[in-house]
Each structure stands twice: as structure tokens, then as C-alpha cells.
Structure 1
Amino acid sequence: MSIDSPVIEKRDGRYRLVYEEVYTTDIDDLWAAVTQPERLARWMADYSGDLRLGGQWEVASDDDGPWGRGTVTACDPPHEFTTTWQATGEEPTELVVRLEPVEGGTRLVLEHAGVQSIFYGAGWQTYLERLAGYVVDPAADLGGEDAWQRRFAELKPEYQERFGAL
């Protein structure tokens, strides 16, 4: 499944990305897929810590150690959460995920504000496409890190062009 391109805005040298997509599952299942560490590990990366209001978390891939961390600053299960997002070597940003039941499934809106790297565009799209495959078939082989890297590389030129046009 290909996710539609996001809205991309530039403000004060940083970017705001907004993705919106309908996933073919109910709101409770999608909420679990985006908030439970064992489910996040299937389509995104390994999370540790507390993903509830006030909780602090870290994300890592393979054995490289944490590459990001944050604190959940708002949470209204199963509808919305907000967290700080700080990748290694970057200033903190804000990530908001909203879910809404709609005909045919659940709409997910992911808004990431304060982004400093143009590579978040292709990265988020790659992750959200993997999420779509995961909710359709939780046992599916999503191809691991190599498949992620290939899809990211396919998307990267389009995003470089879009960010460059800002």
C-alpha cells in the first residue's frame, strides 16, 4: 500500500509534516498498533519505556542503541496522543497522532512539527506503509530493515524535491 504524500510546510527553518490515511481496522486495533511496544516493533522499531501520559520512552533499531526518545505530554485513548520526539543529535520536536473511526476503518492523522531533517518525509511514509501492511495481516513478513531501506531510498528523491521547493 502506498501512503499519500503529506502536507509539508516550512516555518523558521523547520518543517511540519501532516500525513492522513485510512487503515482497514477498527480504532482499538489501530490504537494498540501505534501505542504497544510489542506491536510497534513489528512495523516500526523497538520501543522501551512507558507510552502512557507522562511516560518517557526510547526507540532503537537492532543493537545500535537508542536513536530517539520522548515524553508523552497528552493522551486520550484511543483517540489521540502527543509526545515530544527527539532524535539523536537533533532538537526536540512534537509528534501528534489522532485516530477517528470512519467508514471502512480508522483515519490516522500523524502531525510532526519542528522537524529539522528532510529525511523524515520518506521515513514516515515508509513506516506508515508498513503499518498498513501490518494491520491487514499482523503475521505478514514486512521484509525487515533491508525492505525499509529500499523503500526509503525509492521515496527519498521525491521528498528531496518537495522539501527543496519550499
Structure 2
Amino acid sequence: MTIHSPTIERHGDGFRLVYDEVYATGVDDLWEAITTRDRLARWMADCTGDLREGGTWAVATEGDEEPWATGTIASCDAPRSFTTTWHATGEEPTELTVTLEEADGGTRMRLVHTGIRSIFYGAGWQTYLERLDAEARGEPIPQGWDARFAELSPEYEKRFGNLWTERR
């Protein structure tokens, strides 16, 4: 499956990304893939912390490195939805909400990332979600994250740029 380009909207001084895709797996399996440390590490990043409501998390790092992202789980209705803050290093905190529901052909996942200011989230999330699709299908995770990100970036730069122009 190719992940479809998201809806990108202006949101205050930033943006909101909305990805809405159907993954060829059940709700419980997709929930496990996005919330279980070992599965999350396969397609995105290894995280530490307590992935439950009120819990905090951080991207795991090696040695003395600081995590590149942290957050607090604001709400969780397993296996249907969660909302977390997303605080990337050097950026203001944002909000990430993920919802799952049964759909023809598998499970519909809606990922909404609100308040982002960096245009790099578009290509980044698409690259990660393509890897999640492979994980959900039990296929090998695509290699070359940086190359795929670079391939997707020009189109996202254009789309984000158009939104900035429309605002003026």
C-alpha cells in the first residue's frame, strides 16, 4: 500500500496533518503495532516510558544523547484511540491523536498531528506510516528511511509553501 498524501490545514500559527488510511490487519494487531515498545521500534523508534493515560514517554537514545521527542499520554481508550503531547527537541509541544476503527479490508487509522510548525513532519510521517504498513502486513520494513524522506520532501515543501502563501 502507498500511503496517501495527508490533508494539510493551517492551524493558528502552524499546521494540522491528517492521515487517514486502512491497514490490512485487525484493530488489536494495529493497536499493538503502534503502542507496544518492540513493535513500535521496528517501524518508527524505540521508546521508553509508560504508554498509558497519564504516562510519559521518550524516544530511547544511546549513551548520553537526549531524546529527540517526548510526550505525555493525555487520553487512552485501548484499542481505539489515544492522544499525546508530542514535544520534539527545539520545538513547541504539539498534539498527536490516533484513532482506530474496523473497516473493509482491515483497520482504518486516522492520525492527526496538530500545531506543527516544521514542514518536515509531512514527509516524516508518510515515511514512518509506509513502514507501519509493512509491519502490519508482516513484510520486511523498507530500508532507506532518509532516501524515502528526501524523495517525498519536495512535494511537501510545495504544499506547505502554498498554505503560507494563501494566508497572506
TM category (shorter chain) comes to over 0.9
- After superposition, the C-alpha distances for 1:86-123 in whole angstroms (9 at most, x for unaligned) are 00000110000000011110000000000010000000
- Report the CA distance between 1:61 and its aligned residue: 5.8
**1:151 aligned to which of 138, 148, 153:** 148
- With 89-98 and 60-69 compared, the bigger mean Cα shift is at 60-69
Matched-pair contact (CA < 8 Å) for 1:68–1:87: yes
Identity in percent: 59
**Deviations 1:46-81 (CA, angstroms, capped at 9, x unpaired):** 100011110000014666441000000000000000
Contact 1:60 1:68 in 2 (8 A): no
Residue in 1 that maps onto 2:161: 164
Contact 2:42 2:141 in 1 (8 A): no
The within-5 A match list for 1:104-143 is 104-137=105-138, 140-143=140-143
Residues 93-112 of structure 1: pairs in structure 2 closer than 5 A: 93-112=94-113
The equivalences for 1:12-27 within 5 A come to: 12-27=12-27
Q: Call closer, same or farther: CA 1:28–1:107 in 2, change over 3 Å.
A: same
- 1:158 is aligned with what amino acid? E
CA contact (8 A) 2:23 2:109 kept: yes
How far has the Cα of 1:141 moved from its partner?
4.3
User: Does the 8 A contact of 1:134 with 1:142 survive in 2?
Assistant: no
In the TM superposition, residue 12 of structure 1 has moved relative to its aligned partner by 2.3
CA distance in 2, matches of 1:141, 1:132: 9
Q: Provide the aligned length of Structure 1 versus Structure 2.
A: 162
Structure 2 counterpart SS, 1:165: helix
Structure 1 segments of 4 or more deviating over 2 A?
60-65
CA distance in 1, matches of 2:104, 2:62: 37
- Tell me the amino acid that sits aligned with residue 73 of structure 1: A
Is 2:74 aligned against 1:73? yes
- Shift of the 2–78 alpha-carbon distance from structure 1 to 2, 3 Å rule, reads same
- Sort the Cα spacing of 1:81 and 1:7 in 2 relative to 1 into closer, same or farther, 3 A: same
Gap runs ≥5 in structure 2: 164-168
Q: 1:128 to 1:141 in 2, by over 3 A?
A: closer
Paired residue type of 1:43 = W
Instruction: Please list the CA deviations of residues 10-42 of structure 1 after superposition, one character each: whole Å capped at 9, or x if unmatched.
Output: 122200000000000000000000001111000
C-alpha distance in 1 between matches for 2:133 and 2:61: 20
Aligned 8 A contact 1:45 1:61 in 2: no
Q: 1:141 to 1:7 in 2, by over 3 A?
A: closer
The residue identity in structure 1 corresponding to 2:24 is T
The residue type paired with residue 126 of structure 1 is T
Structure 1 position 137, deviation (Å):
1.3
